[in-house]
Chain A
């Protein structure tokens, strides 16, 4: 899984589209209630299924679009009505175009009667900055993201809610965390939260400073996640948590991860207060006791990059 994560993150780092992904298979893990976790290349995908249709949280990498559709069709023949993007990165939005095109938006009344293409494609929801970044003029040699992959509906408040397939769904914005456009998606009846990359239990917190992320924002997000989730008994089960990458989790897993992120923040902050430079902080190895669990020396998100991002994120802004 770690290798898959690194591959996906490498794609994120260097391109919004155009990843060359392997492992052409998506596995479906029933979670509870109406929810499945779909695991393949790229980020985890959360699928809610019911009599009104299919709702997806994230769409994985572009190259896995066909496999994703196939995985969905193995479970249901209901139409894909909604996609919700947890954030902008291509390992979570790459399949938007293909999935949206295969779906049908719920329309009615004058809209359905007068606008012939109103129901074509599923609706794609995200925080406003996701659309801003995806529709921005590409830099360097990166191709523009196709219009069909862009969110069709956005929100700018701290929360957007909807009711679909018999349950309330809260889309909760978490400011300046992994990026500046992160959302949790909380399925209240099924009791499952999809977190996007604010929570990736197989690596250190991934902070995209360029896109407005911060370590404190991630810790705030993890604490909010602990508030949202309720263990069933003896700190296990109850609310399930589908992370951006990695295995299915519950509150106890989030607590372990929050503890680690907080302890490292406190150490780096203490070093900054003492006037240590980035090089001195790196040399002091503030993560060395957690490295066997979360660290990496190769791949996209190395321990070194995490420490650097943490240092820059926590340093007073000049």
Chain B
């Protein structure tokens, strides 16, 4: 083989994977119409627009926010699928192999509870099922045109909405990271055979903010409420008197507040209007 052919082969083999639109940088979140849910937090019993099943609905109904006062619950970070929905000042940076300059991974850091995540870009397989599940799960990415598509498994049990609606550890997450100049959009698709009847799709936006500095987020559990050992706050089925507050406050039909896949679609409004006639 000639020298030129060898060089060509070396170039082909060692050429870095092209990051079509590198998402690296400091990104400031934009909340838009989602602000009430994402920052103050959702109301108790607000399941609108969630493709949940009856089991998930019941988990929401029996959820007591006092659960979060237990020391072992206080420092939980948002899992990978929910992290971008919180106070999500975001940093993305890439890791490359020094010799070949091949892209190994993207890393992300989010402000609230400071979760860090790795998106492997080097083609490695996902771990076996018996490996540990983590808050951020195990993510692998690939370029589809200019879109970075990420697939995540091995998530710990988490939440679809911060009012008790669960997401199981059987769930997977597919994401499409789309950069348009100084804007970054994440399309997130959660599939959960345990608690969702359809994939749950959300979009989240950021604006490039090179001056952004993310502060540390230490967390140390403390005794917030003195209670007997082993108590787990929850409502017995049928006893949660707060569930009616959300539909009353916003004049939402009670049946719509209960959520379900149907409530995700525009046709549902027409159905409600027809029923009200």
Alpha-carbon separation in the docked complex, A270 to B234 (Å): 13
22 A–B contacts from the bound complex (CB under 8 Å): A1-B130, A27-B130, A231-B75, A234-B77, A234-B135, A234-B219, A235-B76, A235-B135, A236-B77, A246-B130, A247-B129, A247-B132, A248-B131, A248-B132, A249-B132, A250-B132, A252-B135, A259-B232, A259-B234, A263-B62, A267-B237, A289-B55
> Closest Cβ of chain A: how far from B215's Cβ, in Å?
15
Alpha-carbon separation in the docked complex, A286 to B195 (Å): 17
**Of residues 179 to 227 in A, which have CB atoms within 8 Å of B's CB atoms?**
219-220, 223, 226
Alpha-carbon separation in the docked complex, A286 to B55 (Å): 11
User: A236-B134, A253-B157, A292-B55 are known contacts; what are 6 more A-B pairs with Cβ within 8 Å?
Assistant: A223-B230, A255-B72, A258-B232, A292-B193, A293-B168, A293-B169
The answer, among B72, B170, B234, for a CB contact under 8 Å with A235, is B72
Across the interface, which residues of A come within 8 angstroms of B72, CB to CB?
226, 235, 251-252, 255
For the residues of B in contact with A, the DSSP-based class is: loop
Does B58 sit at the interface, judged by CB under 8 A?
Answer: yes
Contact A262 B230 (CB under 8 A): yes
Does A240 sit at the interface, judged by CB under 8 A?
Answer: yes
Contact B130 A39 (CB under 8 A): yes
Across the interface, which residues of B come within 8 angstroms of A255, CB to CB?
72-73
Contact B236 A270 (CB under 8 A): yes
Does A78 sit at the interface, judged by CB under 8 A?
Answer: no
Q: Given A258-B232, A289-B58, are A234 and B76 also a contact pair (CB < 8 Å)?
A: yes
Alpha-carbon separation in the docked complex, A256 to B219 (Å): 20
Contact B113 A288 (CB under 8 A): no
Alpha-carbon separation in the docked complex, A37 to B129 (Å): 13
The answer, among A247, A258, A262, for a CB contact under 8 Å with B131, is A247
Contact A252 B130 (CB under 8 A): no
Q: Given A234-B77, A266-B236, are A253 and B130 also a contact pair (CB < 8 Å)?
A: no
> Closest Cβ of chain A: how far from B230's Cβ, in Å?
5
> Closest Cβ of chain A: how far from B274's Cβ, in Å?
31
Q: Given A258-B232, A259-B232, are A234 and B75 also a contact pair (CB < 8 Å)?
A: yes
Across the interface, which residues of A come within 8 angstroms of B58, CB to CB?
288-289
Contact B55 A291 (CB under 8 A): yes
Across the interface, which residues of B come within 8 angstroms of A288, CB to CB?
54-55, 58
> Closest Cβ of chain B: how far from A47's Cβ, in Å?
14
Across the interface, which residues of A come within 8 angstroms of B195, CB to CB?
292
Contact B194 A292 (CB under 8 A): yes
Does A290 sit at the interface, judged by CB under 8 A?
Answer: yes
The answer, among A252, A259, A263, A270, for a CB contact under 8 Å with B156, is A252
Across the interface, which residues of A come within 8 angstroms of B59, CB to CB?
289-290
> Closest Cβ of chain B: how far from A274's Cβ, in Å?
11
Map CB proximity to A onto B27-68 as digits: 1 under 8 Å, 0 otherwise: 000000000000000000000000001111011001000010
Across the interface, which residues of A come within 8 angstroms of B156, CB to CB?
252-253, 256
Across the interface, which residues of B come within 8 angstroms of A144, CB to CB?
none
Does B114 sit at the interface, judged by CB under 8 A?
Answer: yes
Map CB proximity to B onto A10-41 as digits: 1 under 8 Å, 0 otherwise: 00000000000000000101000000010100
> Closest Cβ of chain B: how far from A246's Cβ, in Å?
7
**Of residues 232 to 284 in A, which have CB atoms within 8 Å of B's CB atoms?**
234-236, 240, 246-253, 255-256, 258-259, 262-263, 266-267, 270
Does B25 sit at the interface, judged by CB under 8 A?
Answer: no
Contact A252 B76 (CB under 8 A): yes
Across the interface, which residues of B come within 8 angstroms of A259, CB to CB?
67, 232, 234
> Closest Cβ of chain B: how far from A204's Cβ, in Å?
14
Across the interface, which residues of A come within 8 angstroms of B55, CB to CB?
288-292
Does B247 sit at the interface, judged by CB under 8 A?
Answer: no
Across the interface, which residues of A come within 8 angstroms of B134, CB to CB?
236
Contact A1 B135 (CB under 8 A): no
Contact A235 B75 (CB under 8 A): yes
Alpha-carbon separation in the docked complex, A149 to B244 (Å): 60
| The 8 A-B residue pairs with the shortest CB-CB distance in the complex, in nearest-first order | A292-B194, A289-B58, A262-B232, A248-B132, A235-B76, A289-B59, A289-B55, A39-B130
Does B10 sit at the interface, judged by CB under 8 A?
Answer: no
Across the interface, which residues of A come within 8 angstroms of B132, CB to CB?
240, 247-250
Across the interface, which residues of A come within 8 angstroms of B133, CB to CB?
247, 249, 253
Contact B62 A289 (CB under 8 A): yes
Does B128 sit at the interface, judged by CB under 8 A?
Answer: yes
Across the interface, which residues of B come within 8 angstroms of A263, CB to CB?
62, 232, 234
Alpha-carbon separation in the docked complex, A220 to B229 (Å): 10
The residue in A39, A263, A270 that gathers the most chain B C-beta atoms within 10 A of its C-beta is A263
- The chain B residue with its CB closest to the CB of A255 is B72
> Closest Cβ of chain A: how far from B262's Cβ, in Å?
20
Across the interface, which residues of B come within 8 angstroms of A289, CB to CB?
55-56, 58-59, 62
Map CB proximity to B onto A66-101 as digits: 1 under 8 Å, 0 otherwise: 000000000000000000000000000000000000
**Of residues 110 to 163 in B, which have CB atoms within 8 Å of A's CB atoms?**
113-115, 128-135, 156-157
